[in-house]
Amino acid sequence: GNVRGAVALVDIPAGEPMFEIPEQLMITPTTCLKCLELELAYKKYETFFSVDDDRIITLFLMHEKLKGDSSFWFPYLEILPEPSGSGDWVLEEQLLLQDTSLIAESKRRNARINA
């Protein structure tokens, strides 16, 4: 498969940062909430977005994806694999996990999506 990694050429002491990433280059709930184009939606539906940080990020990613190549994030979004999850698996594949709670959760999510 596609294996990626990094190798240190010198010892890195414990607690020492390996690298630093500027906040504006990260997609986090905090940075997503700073998007002026979505500010009204985040405020108007504050209860909805306060339940789960994933909702904040999901709206941001959908918004940026719809902007196409005018989005700062376009190059990054273009290399992401198509989303998939255990809900996309056939039952035989899910059974291989031997996790009945995961299978049940997958069925619940699919039911909500298809409702």
* Two tokens, residue 102: 């995961």
Taking the C-alpha atoms of residue 45 and residue 53, their distance in angstroms, rounded to an integer, is: 13
Give me the amino acid identity at 1. G
102 vs 56, more confident: 56
Averaged over 65-91, what is the pLDDT?
A: 87
- Residue 86's pLDDT band, with cuts at 50, 70 and 90, is low
**pTM recorded for the entire structure:** 0.65
Q: Per residue in 24-49, pLDDT tens?
A: 999 999 999 999 999 999 999 999 99
pLDDT at 1: 59
The Cα-based distances of 108 to 24, 49, 51, 55, 89 in angstroms read 35, 21, 18, 18, 14
Backbone angles phi, psi at 100, to 5 degrees: -65, -30
Taking the C-alpha atoms of residue 50 and residue 81, their distance in angstroms, rounded to an integer, is: 27
**Over 90: is that where the pLDDT of 58 sits?**
yes
Contacts of 13 (CB under 8 A, 6+ apart): none
What is the share, in percent, of the chain residues with pLDDT greater than 90? 58
